Amino acid sequence: MKHSNGEAIDFRSEADLKEQVFKILNFYYPACIDHEKGGYINGFLDDGSINDTTTKHLVATNRYIYIFSIGAILGGPDWCLESARHGIHFLNEHHLDHENNGYFFELNGNEVENDSKMAYGHAFTLLASAIAYEAGIEEAKDVVDNVYDVLETHFWDQEHALYKDEWDAEWTSLSSYRGQNPNMHLCEAMLTAYEATDDQKYLDRAYTLADSVTQKLAGRSGGMVWENYTPDWQPDYEFNKNNTKAEFRPYGFVPGHQLEWSKLLMWLDRHRSEDWMLETSEDLFRKGWELGHDSEHGGILFALSPQKEVIDDDKNYWVMAEAISAASLLAAKTDNSFYWNIYDQLCQYSSEHLMDHEHGGWYKLLNRVNEPYSDVKTSPPKTDYHPVAAYYQSILAFS
């Protein structure tokens, strides 16, 4: 594991982890700041050249706000805070539906391309505004309050203690689809909002979501979290069948999401510790690792069938980042060499195959033998939020 200057990276060192955060930020900044239309540029090739100047994805806008806010929290240059504030302004001016409230999912320049109101997008709006507020952007608190109210009014399913998925722009037509993915990111967002505001309602909701998904939903699919559900929250094994590439609704048991829930349970445990959290976190981690780890070529495979057979053996950047984060939190909690060894192994793998030590940033998708599919480093909504978040959580865990 080497720095671009040839020196070894110590992934257990706070200084080296911070340096990796800023290597990512320096890949995107200043080229990602769109001074013409506002917001951010969403598409980059490996060398940093721009390949998409018009797409403005709600999730990408929020993930940029997130990574620049983390840069500010970690003591980065003034442009970190300025860049995050730039995104909050664009969120309020262009993603926000000034007539019906809620946030549009995708823009083309400043024009609405996809006016759907998605729980997934609103999860990242809460995450981004909360971390921006923690970083010192006072006006982000209004976004936190507004998006929480939107989620409570339109998405919250009181009967099942989970969030519904998708509305039309006017809040008149609700999709029958239900998914774990937005609920997972809403748990993350609620934890972030709690840490930023100290408001107990966010911690309570994070707890409820963790229980609903990792206990109730996982209990309906053999102890692992399935992705897609019917309106009454039964596993839907036919929806998007074999389409593991659906960005927000992939088919299968996704090992990366077992590991991501493992991380969230240990994050929740920092604030409200109960025995079931560590037990479930370790269980999901071991299942995600044992079923997903590629012992021949390294890394973690993407998706499994209902029978737990591999149906997608690609290596996705975010899976490795979330696995690193989960391993770091479990290692810090338990000091078990099993987790330390996996943390080191995944950092080594990511350094060798996913991290671009020349230009910065992480490659998006590799095949099983660790070859990239294209020279597109970032397409909407990537922004490398996952590795930045993983480094930040590891810094907190190790300190």
Residues annotated catalytic, as ranges: 257, 386
Q: Tokens for 160, please give them.
A: 């099942």
> CA–CA separation, 171 vs 148, rounded Å?
16
Cα distance between residue 3 and residue 13, in whole Å: 13
User: Using CA atoms, how far apart are residues 39 and 17, in angstroms rounded to an integer?
Assistant: 27
CA atoms of 207 and 264, how far apart (whole Å): 10
Q: Which residues contact 192 (CB under 8 A, 6 or more apart)?
A: 126, 127, 130, 131, 134
How buried is 89 (Cβ within 10 angstroms: 0-12 exposed, 13-18 middle, 19+ buried)? middle
The tokens describing 286, both together, are: 């071991």
Q: Give CA angle at 374 (373, 380), nearest 5°.
A: 105
Query: Encoding tokens for residue 161?
Result: 């203690």
- List the structure tokens of 217: 């939903």
- Alpha-carbon gap, residue 285 to 114, rounded angstroms: 36
For 84, phi then psi, to 5°, come to: -65, -45
With H, G, I as helix, E, B as strand and everything else as coil, classify residue 215: helix
Neighbours of 350 (CB within 10 A): 25
Q: Concatenate the DSSP letters of all residues of 168-189 into one string.
A: -TTS--B-S-EEHHHHHHHHHH
Cα–Cα distance measured from residue 301 to residue 48, given in angstroms and rounded to the nearest whole number: 27
Helix (H) or strand (E) holding 117: strand 117-118
Helix (H) or strand (E) holding 79: helix 78-90
